[in-house]
Amino acid sequence: MVSTRNHPSKFPPPSLSSSKPPSLPSSAPSTAWSHIPSTLTLLWLIVSLPLVIWDTAYVMLRPHSMPGGKFQSPIFTPYVLYGTVDYIYGWKAYNARNGFTAAQASLNAIETTGYIAYLWIVWRYGEGDRRALQGGWGGLAVLTGFALSVMTVSKTVLYGLNEYFSDFENIGHNDPMSLLFLWIIPNGAWLIFPTYMICVFAQDILQGLAIASGDFTSKPAKVAGSSKDE
């Protein structure tokens, strides 16, 4: 008979003290999400918002803001020249009852109100020197900024397409240099900077969704994370 007297009578229960919760991949970024307004975004809004308000006021106050009107000088004097460059802002469109000018200005008013709301959220709820926003206010700020930036770019593209499909009815009379410096460059700024803002806000949105879902490995999550870290 085989002896078993040296064999332990009972096996000890497995120890649970050494078990560890699953850890995130070593490449996972911090799980604390925040929105930090970019310096270029804030500078662009500070510069562009007064110009858009001025432009909207000119359109909404027509014909009083046009040459000969009671509000024309000195506030709207530069539009005397611009109305000859872009007929959408001149007497031709006004006398023809062209509704595109006022429709665009109405969207400008909505955009401006939204951008002012974004700046107010940043100023009121942002923390630290960089005005970092977390939680619901951070999410609201990013959503507002992204939606308005897409709106600005879309409206500006529509403005150009309106000219293209009307055979450049309102700007085709200009010489190339006048068209470049008085129409293309000024309007192009409302394509370049809002497009940059779309990218910045989109990175924040992607990063927040990646953190919420625990996705740190997909290509969109990596792009958003690396962009934010830079």
Position of tokens 């499909």? 165
Give me the tens of pLDDT residue by residue for the chain, a chain 230 residues long. Answer: 445 555 555 555 655 555 555 554 444 455 688 899 999 999 999 999 999 999 999 999 999 999 999 999 999 999 999 999 999 999 999 999 999 999 999 999 999 999 999 999 999 998 988 899 888 899 999 999 999 999 999 999 999 999 999 999 999 999 999 999 999 999 999 999 999 999 999 999 988 888 887 766 676 766 666 655 54
Q: What is the pLDDT of residue 105?
A: 96
CA 212 to chain centre: 22
What pLDDT is recorded for position 128? Answer: 87
Q: How high is the pLDDT of residue 152?
A: 97
Instruction: Give bridge partners of residue 35 from the DSSP assignment.
Output: 133
Q: How far is CA 217 from CA 206, 207, 227, in A?
A: 13, 12, 14
